[in-house]
Every structure is written in structure tokens, then in C-alpha cells.
Structure 1
Amino acid sequence: MESQRTFLFIGLLLVSFLLFQEWNNEKLQANADTSATTQQVTAPSSSIAQDDDVPASTQNDVPAAVTKAVRSVITVKTDVLDVKIDTKGGDVVEAKLLQHAETHGSDTPFLLLGEFEGRQYISQSGLIGLHGPDANPEGRPVYTAPQKAYELSGDELRVPLTFVDNKGVQYTKTYVFKAGKYDVELEYTVNNTTSDPIQVQLYTQVKRTVQPKGSMVDQTYLGATYGTSEEKYEKYSFEDMAEANLNKNTQGGYIAFIQHYFVSAWVPDQSVNNTIYTLLRNNQGIIGVKGEAVNVQANNALSLTSTFYMGPKDGDALEAIHPDLDLTVDFGWLFFISQPLLVLLKLIYSFIGNWGLAIIAITILVKMALYPLTKAQYTSMAKMRALQPKMMQLKERYGDDRQKMGQATMELYRKEKVNPMGGCLPLLLQMPIFLALFYVFLESPELRHAEFMFWLTDLSAKDPYYVLPILFGASMFLTQKLQPMTVTDPMQQKMMTYMPIVFTFFFILFPFPSGLVLYWLVSNLITIAQMLYIYRGMEKQGIKVRD
């Protein structure tokens, strides 16, 4: 497979993918508009959620709730999180990430959970089952708290919320925040002060307003994901929710909502059997997990636990919570290549201290490691180019007799010791590595708002002056000029001539992150240097490479 055809093939794939993406977005938006009701989710300025989406409970022996407490919002601040908790249900209704800016150069923290122009994104948890207060038809419980505001001053901060029903059963929902951590422990303690046993079932879920995904370069997959004991990582989009509710039984497992650079996830008790479910209601997509129904004996207490993560896609931090949760850093099916490359990229950055230079360094290292394949590719292409006069002679001799032409061609290849697939196979072996690098640069939160030098102050954003796309187009043009032209069809030759221009406008129209374009540009420049070195060596051996 010649490099010219490869450029064309990749270009057609990218254009086709983006066209499909836009069609898919319009379709999803139409579905969302159709399913939306007149009851829009619009919270007041206090950020209190206005609806209760509780998973179905077949039990109906729930005691009447005590509703004397006044609903309010509790604020919790740590060194990395600024969180608001609604006392009704004890839900996390807002979360700001203090170490991540909303926009580049802004002092405003990134809003991960909360209200987004009428769209809602919150975390919910509670107790359903025979005596679960969240299953009460009169509404979810309203908790009381010792304070209205909390701030972490040590290594750990406990925020207890308490509710007592009309039978005297005490439910204490405690969030445990830790310094430098985006994961929060949830401890649910049920103190049964009655003379009868009670039964409850813990559920945890994330709810987000249905919304279509943006373009490929704006963000990666936006939607729900989950993992079970048999399926390490599965996506379940809003469209999937519209088609059918998910219902998976598993020991352990996890659920999450992911977006570009960030994730929210619930990791339940891994020692018990859980049910992973989805709901789609009032234009709200929900993914959650229910634990087993448990009995709390008379005059006894029982604690149930779960972990909630709300923060950047930090693979190490996610893996520490659940061994498969790091897969939400969505590197696609090439994750087993992308993950080591990300480790290498971080290692290089630890020495260099600049993500742009780290990208250049890892590109050089990868291209050097793949040099034997590159040499095999261009050597084969050059040899094929040198055979073109003899191929034309065979074509003139055998004309339209394809059988004899094929036999004569194979004999020529054997005699000249040329492998017709020699230019294709090395390229195919290199493609997974470069595609894995593509996802590393696209998905890694470390590159969000990372500065390089000069005008490139954010490697996750487009080049504001389009210098990199233009340089990339120029490098692609030079690559084509240096390569031996093996394409003989005039139409294909003309298409190859225009490909650098097409790719340049492609990178300008679709705002690819400048870090990605920098990687492609450096890769092209190294390829040019390697090509010149390889061809110079072949010409010394008497092999004619170019006209």
C-alpha cells in the first residue's frame, strides 16, 4: 500500500466519520426534543434538584416520613472540591473542581456537577426496599446536619446527615472527604431502635439530562458506562437507554458517566451482589446500581458503604478505586497500547516539565523504535518504483491477458526479490501505535489547558492562528514530493496532489487540539528525515529512487 493511497484512505475515513457524527447528533437531538416534557428541569439559584428519580421498589410497607426538617443546601469545601449537598435525599447537586479551570486562564473552577443552562447533572443515593425512606410515596427524606458549611482542615472531613422516621429508626448518611482526593466515601448507617426487624436496599446513581455528543474534536464519548464481573467496560448511551432499560446482575461492578477529560462514578461494595440499571425519564438519563436487600435486626445497627468519584480522568486514581475503572479513560480498543504510552509521556514530562516538548520527545522515540518498519516500507516502495519500466513492458507484451500478466508479474517479483506487500505490512503494523498515541493526546486530562510555547498556550484547544495546520500541510506536500510516485492513474495523481491542501483545510475547519496537530507535524518531519536517509543509502547502492 503506497503512502499516497494511505493519505487518501485516512482522509476519506475521517471525513466519513465526521459526517456520520453530525447525522447521529441531529438524530439524537431530535429524539431528545421529542421525549422532553413541558416540565423542564430548572433548579433555583440554591442548586436544589426539583425531582426525585428513585429506582422502582416492589415493597410498599414504608413508614411515613417525618418532614419537620427544612430543606436546604450544605456546602463542603476541600483542597480539590467545592460541593453542594441537598438535604432532601442527601444528593450531591453541585461539584466544582478547584484545581481545574472552567476555561483556559480563568479563575472560575470547572463545574462538573450542577445545572448547565437548563441541563442537569447530579449524583443521587438513598435507601429503598421494605422500609427504605427513599421509597416513601410521600417523597424522599429531608435530612438534618449539624452545620450548613464545612471546610477540610486536616486529612479527613466527615459530613453527617441524619433522618429519623416516625417509628424512631435513625438513618445517618455520612460523606467522608479526604485531602487531595476526588473520591468520597458514603457511609449509610441504619440504627433500628424498634422491636421489629427492618429491611432496606442501598442504591446509588448518576442522573444527567439527555444531550447529543459534540464533534469528535470537541469531546470524546459523552454518556453512561458500566463494568461487571464479566464485562470490564461497556458503554450505554442515551440512545441505548431510549431503546431498553439496562438490568445487569453482578458481584461488585461500577457505574459512571464520562465526558471529555472528566468522569463521575459510583463504586459499590465489591463483596455483594449488585444490580446495574438505567432509566430514561423526563429527558433525564440515569445509570445506577442497587445493592442487595439487607435486614437490620431489632435494636441493632448496620452500615452500608459505597464510593463516589467526581473528578478528572486520572487513570491511577480511578484504578485505585476499582481495578477496571481506569478504562473510563477511554482509549478505545487500543487501550493496552495507549496506557503504556501515557505512562511514558508522563515520565518524559517529569523530566522536561513542558507537555509540548514531551509530545515532541515521545513522537521521536516512537518513530525511532519503528524505524526498521519505516525502512522496510520505503525500501519496498522504492524497489517497486524501480520496477515500473519492466512492469510497463509486461503490460505491453501481454495486453489484456490477465492470467499471463499475473504470472509474469509474480515471476518478476521473485526474480528481483521484491515483496509487493512490503510497503503495506510495515505501515499496518505502525498504524495501531500511532492511533493509540492519537487517543492518548485526545483523552488525557493532563493536556487540558497545558501550555507549550509562544502562541500555543493550550494544547487541548485549536491553534488560534492555524500555524500548525499550515505547517502540517506543507510537510505533507514535501513528503509527497520526496516519495517515489507509484500511482500511474492521472486521476489518482491529481487527487494526491490536492491531498495536502484538503488536509490543511480539514484541520482548520475542524478545530483539532493543537497537541494532536503538533504530534502529526513532528511525525511528518521525522518521516521526511528518515526518508531522505533511507533513499540516500539506496541511491548509493545504485537503486534509482526518484526521477
Structure 2
Amino acid sequence: MESQRTFLFIGLLLVSFLLFQEWNSDYNQPANNPSAQTQSNAQTNAGQSDVPNSDIAEPLASTSASQQVISVTTDVFAVKIDTLGGDIIEAKLLQHAETHGSDEPYLLLGQFEGNEYFAQSGLIGLNGPDARKEGRPVYQSAQQSYTLEGDTLAVPLTFVDAQGVSYTKTYTFHKNRYDVTLDYDIQNNTANAVQVQLYTQVKRTVQDKGSLIDQSYLGGAYGTDEVNYEKYSFDDIQDKELKESTQGGYVAFLQHYFVSAWVPAQDQTNTIYMRLPTAKVAQMGIKSEPVNIAAASSATFTSTYYMGPKDTDALEALHPNLDLTVDYGWLWFISQPLLSLLKFLHSFLGNWGLAIIAITVLMKTALYPLTKAQYTSMAKMRALQPKIQALKERYGDDRQKFGQATMEMYRKEKVNPMGGCFPLLLQMPIFLALFYVFLESPELRHAEFGLWLTDLSSKDPFYVLPVLFGASMFLMQKLQPMTVTDPMQQKMMTWMPVFFSVFFLWFPSGLVLYWLVSNLISIAQMLIIYRGMEKKGMKVRG
């Protein structure tokens, strides 16, 4: 019945509202703009409360006149490393703009608007240099700046403790890659064994994120040998700190379009932890098992840190489950093929807007048999309105007999009253899946179409698409045979284009483009189907 379609439209309207709330809370987060005191603050504070719980008391940060910040530049990064602890205290992604049209690269790690986001690592345990009572070590570097000129760039940092144990912490950067290799080389030059334990972690200011849909979110995630992917939000850490033992594993911090993750050696036992050393700061990291290094011998620890866009191929290459951090939610089985198809179409069309139009044409073509059944069913329902009205007059207030007689008539006339709902039901999950593609896929961030549409991942700046969408929806209603008789439902259907247009004002323009093109194709299909039915003598409109 027409009322069924009305309820479906209302459902889609509600879903659109929820998606708008999710998009607005996520997309309009404050930009990661570094303050003028980023470097000095990082040097002073980066080492405080940074060491995870170990067998001895947690030390305070040390300061030294030799402490400095090292700059590293590659084709994809502009990175700063603090020699206090050897932490990455800033990372700019040179191939991603901070905002659309900006020349400033995107600041992924650093200090911005009172928040901090660092990648940290060190050696704790009985003899670890990061577990000393006097504070974390200050490493020495042969250079203050490094630039990638070949395929790889090694940045070694050295430290020798009071007992003569030598530590070399080396970051290796790779051309056109967002993963960085961390190697710890320990040379025990003493006459006694030493015990150390590697930890790698992300330090992030706790932030509240109001959201009605827990999908694209700001928070932690991890994987173990038993759990492929599990989100662990700031609220989860506040309720209960995480501590999981696993073979291999990974830990990650997720945000809109980007992710950072530590992936340790997968052939060893590790402890994944997420904790709150202070009320405002969270640590998400991994500790290896303690290792004894015999006198006059050496050992090496290795881990990998990824800091960049949510590239499924690059993430899966580091860990078989790390690509799950590109979180498409429960519709992942639709979102992933949609993105693959969009990429394929973009590969030869060269424009994401054209790719969206092409994928819409393909979807509507595939759904054409159902669409034809929908409009045929609606036309037949309209043709039956006089008979339905006669049944109402015959049975009066006896709704049970009226319903039974109506269903018997539908059976004889071979009309499915729900036939008009199936195409809409199929389009809703496609629409939702495409929403999460826009929310999670960095390929579509700042994607251009043409003319005034310079960023398909943000709203239409002149609201042209939402207005055209509303007009197309209004035209569809005028062309469709109206079978609803209830005045309230008629008003709701009349105002539906206005409601949708208002909600779509703030939606990413790529989504509105998809729905507008879908409506235009539906109008063309509707005219073709109705013309064929009218040639057969069936009264469709009027």
C-alpha cells in the first residue's frame, strides 16, 4: 500500500538525519592546527608520564642542554623527532592538505589547540634506559635534519648509559610509504647481563566525541591472535584499562580518514595495553616480553609504525587484519565492493564525480527489473482504487472483512501491495554504504568534480544539488500515481521533498550527487514504463 511507502520514506528521512548528525560531529571536528609553541611545548612535556607501567616506579622526564628536535623530510612526511626519548612529536602528511585548497600539509601528529598526539617508544625493564630514576635518555644525533634522497632513509639516534651499555634507536623511512621501521640495537659492553623490554605506544589527549552512530569515531582499536579487530574508545579506557596478552597483534588510533598504528614482531608474545596515566591523556601501546642480554653480546628489537591515510592495501601489507581499521561498519560487505568499483571507474574516467554518476547508472540499471515491477504495481494499485472504494462502502467500519476482501482482490488481480517498496529498500543500504565510503576513504577526501563542486566530501557551497534533489523528488511524486487517500499522509508526502532537501544541505555533495542522479534516472525509467503501459490501454496517471 501507499502507506507502506510513506513509512519507508519516513525511515529513510530518519536515517538521513542520523547520518547528518554523525557526519556533522565527525567532519566538523577542530582542525589539527599547531600552536606557535608546538616545538617548545613538545620538548618540555613529551616525556612526562610517558613510560608504561613496568617492574619499577615510573620515572619523571629528564631535561638536558643537549636535547634537541630533529627534522626529517621525505616525499610523504615532514617529521620532527625529539631526542628526549627519541619520540616522534610531529608528523605532517605532505600529500594531504590540512583543509581543502590549503597549502598547509595535514598535521597528523603534534600539538594543536591544547591537544597532543605523539608516537613514543622506549626500553623499560630492569635495566632499560627509559626506566631510569633520573628520567628518559637524551639521544645523540649526527645531524639535526635529514632528507630522503633514495628509496630509504635511516635516522640513527645513540645513547650510552653510565654502565657502558650502548643503545642505537633507528627510524627507517621509505619512499612513497607511510610505514616507518623502528630498530633498537643494544650492545652490552659490560661484564653483567642486562634486562630490557621494548614498548611502543601512541599518546593522545582524551577527547569527547558526541555521536549517534558508533562507526567513524575518534579512539583506539587493537587486534590479537584471537580478536581480529576491536575498538576501544576513551570511555572504555576510563571504565577499564585494557591489558591483553597475544602472539603478535597490533594497536591503532583511528580518526576521520587517517590512522596511526604500531605493529610489533609477530613471532613473539606481546602485551597490548590502553591506559590513562592522567585524566586527560591516554596511552595505547604494546610491550614485548623482557629479554636478557648476556655480557659482551648484543640484541635487536624491531617494530613498525604506520602514520597516514586509511589505505587498505598498505595497512593489510603490514598486518593481515590492520585493514579492518578502515571501518565501514556492518555494511562493509557493500562498502568495500562499492569503493573498488568507484576506484575502477575513476581509473579511466579520471574524475570522482563522473565515477559517482557512472556507479549510479550501473546501480539503477541493475535494479531496473525491480523498478519496473514497482511502477507497474503502483499503476495497478491506482487502477484498483474504484474497487477499493466500493469495498469500503460495502463493509463500512468492519475493517477485518474489508482487509480480507482487499487482499483477495489483490490476489485475483495479481497485485503485490508491497511491490513498490523493494527498490527503495534496496537503495537504502547502498546509500548508507556509500555514506561510509565517503566517511572512511581518503581517496574521496577533497575529491573534485567540476565547476562549483571542488570537494565532494563536503557540502555543496551554494546548495545547488540539494535544491535540484528536492525538485527531482517533487517531480517524481507528481509523475507517480497517487493511491494514498489519508489527508495526513498526503501532506507528509507533499512535504517530503522539502524535508530531504533541508537535511541534504549539509551532506557531502558526492552523496547528494548520487541521489540526484538516481532520481533523474528513476524519472526517465518511470516515463518509459508508464508510456509502455498506456500504450496497452492502462490508465496510469490523471
Aligned to 2:371: 374
Aligned to 1:39: none
Aligned to 2:141: 145
CA distance in 2 between counterparts of 1:134 and 1:67 reads 13
Q: Is the 8 A contact 1:43 1:49 kept in 2?
A: no
Which secondary structure does the structure 2 equivalent of 1:107 belong to?
coil
Aligned to 1:284: 281
1:480 paired to 2:482: no
Q: Is the 8 A contact 1:200 1:294 kept in 2?
A: yes
Aligned to 1:117: 113
CA distance in 2 between counterparts of 1:49 and 1:545 reads 76
1:414 paired to 2:411: yes
CA distance in 2 between counterparts of 1:312 and 1:20 reads 20
Which secondary structure does the structure 2 equivalent of 1:397 belong to?
helix
CA deviation profile, 1:272-301 (whole Å, cap 9, x unmatched): 222222122241122212222222222221
One of 167, 174, 182 as aligned partner of 2:170: 174
Decide whether aligned partners of structure 1 residues 442 and 482 sit closer, same or farther in structure 2, where only a CA change above 3 A counts. farther
Quote how far apart the aligned CAs of 1:150 are: 0.5
User: Which consecutive unaligned segments of at least 5 residues does structure 1 have?
Assistant: 30-41
One of 530, 534, 541 as aligned partner of 1:535: 530
CA distance in 1 between counterparts of 2:480 and 2:243 reads 55
Which secondary structure does the structure 1 equivalent of 2:529 belong to?
helix
Decide whether aligned partners of structure 1 residues 493 and 316 sit closer, same or farther in structure 2, where only a CA change above 3 A counts. same
One of 244, 249, 253 as aligned partner of 1:257: 253
Quote how far apart the aligned CAs of 1:83 are: 0.2
One of 231, 245, 270 as aligned partner of 1:274: 270
Spell out the pairing of 1:86-101 with structure 2 (5 A cutoff): 86-101=82-97
Decide whether aligned partners of structure 1 residues 61 and 431 sit closer, same or farther in structure 2, where only a CA change above 3 A counts. closer
Aligned to 2:384: 387
One of 326, 333, 336 as aligned partner of 2:333: 336
Spell out the pairing of 1:107-506 with structure 2 (5 A cutoff): 107-213=103-209, 220-280=216-276, 281-506=278-503
CA deviation profile, 1:74-122 (whole Å, cap 9, x unmatched): 1100011000001111111000111111122222111111111211111
Decide whether aligned partners of structure 1 residues 398 and 239 sit closer, same or farther in structure 2, where only a CA change above 3 A counts. same
Q: What one-letter code is carried by the residue in structure 2 that aligns with 1:353?
A: G
Quote how far apart the aligned CAs of 1:44 are: 4.7
Q: Is the 8 A contact 2:12 2:428 kept in 1?
A: no
Decide whether aligned partners of structure 1 residues 373 and 190 sit closer, same or farther in structure 2, where only a CA change above 3 A counts. farther
CA distance in 2 between counterparts of 1:412 and 1:7 reads 26
Decide whether aligned partners of structure 1 residues 55 and 277 sit closer, same or farther in structure 2, where only a CA change above 3 A counts. farther
Q: What one-letter code is carried by the residue in structure 2 that aligns with 1:73?
A: V
Q: What one-letter code is carried by the residue in structure 2 that aligns with 1:229?
A: D
Quote how far apart the aligned CAs of 1:73 are: 0.5
Decide whether aligned partners of structure 1 residues 460 and 539 sit closer, same or farther in structure 2, where only a CA change above 3 A counts. same
Which secondary structure does the structure 2 equivalent of 1:365 belong to?
helix
CA distance in 1 between counterparts of 2:496 and 2:60 reads 70
One of 5, 12, 15 as aligned partner of 1:13: 15
Decide whether aligned partners of structure 1 residues 232 and 49 sit closer, same or farther in structure 2, where only a CA change above 3 A counts. farther
CA distance in 2 between counterparts of 1:480 and 1:541 reads 23
CA distance in 1 between counterparts of 2:283 and 2:520 reads 47
TM-score, normalised via structure 1 length: 0.90
Aligned to 2:513: 518
Q: Is the 8 A contact 1:64 1:165 kept in 2?
A: no
Q: Is the 8 A contact 1:47 1:93 kept in 2?
A: yes
CA distance in 1 between counterparts of 2:509 and 2:64 reads 56
Decide whether aligned partners of structure 1 residues 359 and 19 sit closer, same or farther in structure 2, where only a CA change above 3 A counts. closer
Aligned residues: percent identity? 67
Aligned to 2:34: none
Q: Is the 8 A contact 1:62 1:130 kept in 2?
A: no
Decide whether aligned partners of structure 1 residues 357 and 388 sit closer, same or farther in structure 2, where only a CA change above 3 A counts. same
CA distance in 1 between counterparts of 2:100 and 2:525 reads 37
Which secondary structure does the structure 1 equivalent of 2:186 belong to?
strand
Deviates more, 1:494-503 or 1:483-492: 483-492
Quote how far apart the aligned CAs of 1:309 are: 0.9
Quote how far apart the aligned CAs of 1:490 are: 0.7
Decide whether aligned partners of structure 1 residues 69 and 142 sit closer, same or farther in structure 2, where only a CA change above 3 A counts. farther
Which secondary structure does the structure 2 equivalent of 1:415 belong to?
helix
CA deviation profile, 1:248-288 (whole Å, cap 9, x unmatched): 22222221112211111111112222222212224112221
Quote how far apart the aligned CAs of 1:64 are: 12
CA distance in 1 between counterparts of 2:515 and 2:319 reads 34
CA distance in 1 between counterparts of 2:416 and 2:147 reads 69
Decide whether aligned partners of structure 1 residues 539 and 65 sit closer, same or farther in structure 2, where only a CA change above 3 A counts. closer
CA distance in 2 between counterparts of 1:123 and 1:514 reads 35
CA distance in 1 between counterparts of 2:319 and 2:117 reads 23
Deviates more, 1:180-189 or 1:60-69: 60-69
CA deviation profile, 1:181-239 (whole Å, cap 9, x unmatched): 1110111122222233322222111122122337799x942222222233322222222
Q: What one-letter code is carried by the residue in structure 2 that aligns with 1:312?
A: P
Decide whether aligned partners of structure 1 residues 430 and 23 sit closer, same or farther in structure 2, where only a CA change above 3 A counts. closer
Q: Is the 8 A contact 1:345 1:359 kept in 2?
A: yes
Q: What one-letter code is carried by the residue in structure 1 that aligns with 2:99?
A: T
Q: What one-letter code is carried by the residue in structure 2 that aligns with 1:360?
A: I
Quote how far apart the aligned CAs of 1:452 are: 1.3
Q: What one-letter code is carried by the residue in structure 1 that aligns with 2:144?
A: K
Which secondary structure does the structure 1 equivalent of 2:447 belong to?
coil
CA RMSD in angstroms comes to 3.0
Decide whether aligned partners of structure 1 residues 192 and 529 sit closer, same or farther in structure 2, where only a CA change above 3 A counts. same
CA distance in 2 between counterparts of 1:361 and 1:23 reads 30
CA deviation profile, 1:51-91 (whole Å, cap 9, x unmatched): 43345434239999998772111110001100000111111
Q: Is the 8 A contact 1:62 1:131 kept in 2?
A: no
Decide whether aligned partners of structure 1 residues 59 and 502 sit closer, same or farther in structure 2, where only a CA change above 3 A counts. same
CA distance in 2 between counterparts of 1:208 and 1:474 reads 46
Quote how far apart the aligned CAs of 1:477 are: 1.0
Deviates more, 1:190-199 or 1:57-66: 57-66
Q: Is the 8 A contact 2:49 2:60 kept in 1?
A: no
